[in-house]
Amino acid sequence: MPKITNRTSSFAIRSYIAVLSARFRTLLQYRAAAFAGFGTQLFWGLIRVMIFEAFYRSSTAPQPMTADEVITYIWLGQAFLVLIPYQGADPDVRAMVRSGNVVYELVRPTNLYFFWYSRAIAQRTAPGVFRALPMFITASLFFNLQMPPSFSATCAWLVSMLFAVLISAAITNLLSISLLWTISGEGLGVLLGSLTWLFSGIIIPLLFFPDWAQTAINILPFRYLMDIPFRFYLGHISPEQIWYHLPFQIAYLIALITAGHLILTRGIRRLVAQGG
C-alpha cells in the first residue's frame, strides 16, 4: 500500500498562491492586448479630460472638485481600468464550465471558492501591470496627473487600493460562480458590469452625481473600487478618514465572500453532469 504519510503538513495557502501566480504569469503573456489597451485608454482619457475642461470653462457654479483634481482622477481611472470587473466572470472559469473541464476543479484538495478567488485576483491585477505603470508615467509627464499631496495620503490610498482589488476579485468570483447556474453567465455579467461602470466613478467622478443619487452610491460597494481610493490619493478625503472607510471595505469584502461561498456550495450540489 503506497500510504501517503510523508505528505508535509505545509499550509494550505500554498495551493492558492500556486494557482494565483500561475494565472498571473499566463496573463502577463498577453502583451499585445496590454499595448492595445494602453492606447485605447490613453485615447479615452484625453477625450474625457477635454470634456471636463470644456465643462469647467463654461460653468460658473461652484463644483465639488477642482479641475486639476478631476484631471488626476480621470487619469487614475484610466490607469486602473482593468481593476474593475466590468467584463464579467473569469474567462478561464467560463471556458471550463462550458467544456466540462470544471470537474477537475472539483477533484482538487482545495476550497473551490478560494481556489477561484485566487484566480480572480490574478485576473484583476496582472493585465494592469503593463497598463497602470506606463499610464502613470505618461499622464504625469504630459497630461497633468498630480502626485499625492502627502505621505499619509499615499498610504491611505494604497491601503484602500489593496481592498479595492480584493473586493473587485470577490465580485469577479461571484460572476464566475453564477456560471454554474446559467452556463453563459452573460445576464448577470452585463447587469453587474453596468452597475460597476456607473457607480465606481470611472465615467464621472461620483461627487458630480445629483444629490438624490448619492444615497444609492453610498450604499453600493462599487465606490470602494475607484472613487474612494482616488479621493484618498487626491487628498480630497483626509488620510485619517481611512479609519472610517476601511471597516466598510472590510465589511463589503466579507459580505461578498460569504455570499459567493454560499452560492457556490449550492451550485455544486445542483451541478448537472454536462455531457454524462
Partner 1 sequence: MPHIIVENLVKTFQIAQRQPGVWGALRGVMHRNYRQITALDGISFTIEPGELIGYIGPNGAGKSTTVKVLSGILVPDTGRCEILGRVPWKERIAHVAQIGVVFGQRTQLWWDLPVIESFDLLRDIYRVDHHQYAQTRDEMIAILDLESLLDIPVRQLSLGQRMRCDLAAALLHRPSILFLDEPTIGLDVVSKLAVRDFIKRLNQERDVTVILTTHDMDDIEALCTRVMVIGQGQILSDGPLENLRARVTTERRLIVDLEEIEDITDPDASVVLRDGHRVHLTFDPDRIATADLIARITAQHPVRDLFVENTPIEEIISRLYAENH
Residue 183 CB, nearest approach to partner 1 (Å): 12
What span, in angstroms and rounded, lies between the C-alpha atoms of 78 and 99?
34
Residue 61 interacting with partner 1 (CB under 8 A): no
What span, in angstroms and rounded, lies between the C-alpha atoms of 265 and 179?
13
Binding span for partner 1 by CB under 8 A among 64-72, 93-101, 149-157, 204-212: 93-101
Residue 47 interacting with partner 1 (CB under 8 A): no
The residues, ordered by sequence, that sit 6+ positions from 97 with a Cβ below 8 Å of its Cβ are 179, 180, 183, 185
Q: Cα dihedral angle (194, 195, 196, 202), rounded to 10 degrees?
A: 70
Out of 56, 63, 67, 111, the residue judged to bind partner 1 by CB under 8 A: 111
Nearest residue to 233 via CA among 96, 86, 91, 70 = 70
Residue 32 interacting with partner 1 (CB under 8 A): no
The residues, ordered by sequence, that sit 6+ positions from 245 with a Cβ below 8 Å of its Cβ are 160, 224, 228, 237
Residue 12 interacting with partner 1 (CB under 8 A): yes
The residues, ordered by sequence, that sit 6+ positions from 41 with a Cβ below 8 Å of its Cβ are 78, 79, 81, 131, 135
Residue 31 interacting with partner 1 (CB under 8 A): no
Binding span for partner 1 by CB under 8 A among 19-27, 35-43, 136-144, 253-261: 19-27
Instruction: Choose between 76 and 179: whose C-beta lies nearer to partner 1.
Output: 179
Out of 39, 64, 91, 100, the residue judged to bind partner 1 by CB under 8 A: 100
Binding to partner 1 by CB under 8 A, coded x per residue (else -) over 255-274, reads --------------x-xxx-
Nearest residue to 52 via CA among 67, 37, 38, 63 = 67
Out of 63, 110, 154, 241, the residue judged to bind partner 1 by CB under 8 A: 110
| Residue position matching grid coordinates 472590510 | 250
Binding span for partner 1 by CB under 8 A among 12-20, 128-136, 182-190, 208-216: 12-20
The residues, ordered by sequence, that sit 6+ positions from 264 with a Cβ below 8 Å of its Cβ are 112, 113, 177, 180
Residue 207 interacting with partner 1 (CB under 8 A): no
Residue 103 interacting with partner 1 (CB under 8 A): yes
What span, in angstroms and rounded, lies between the C-alpha atoms of 176 and 181?
10
Residue 125 CB, nearest approach to partner 1 (Å): 18
Residue 33 interacting with partner 1 (CB under 8 A): no
Residue 4 interacting with partner 1 (CB under 8 A): yes
What span, in angstroms and rounded, lies between the C-alpha atoms of 190 and 247?
29
Residue 94 CB, nearest approach to partner 1 (Å): 14
Residues within the interface to partner 1 (CB under 8 A): 1-4, 6-8, 10, 12, 14-15, 17-19, 22, 26, 29, 99-101, 103-104, 106-111, 269, 271-273, 275-276
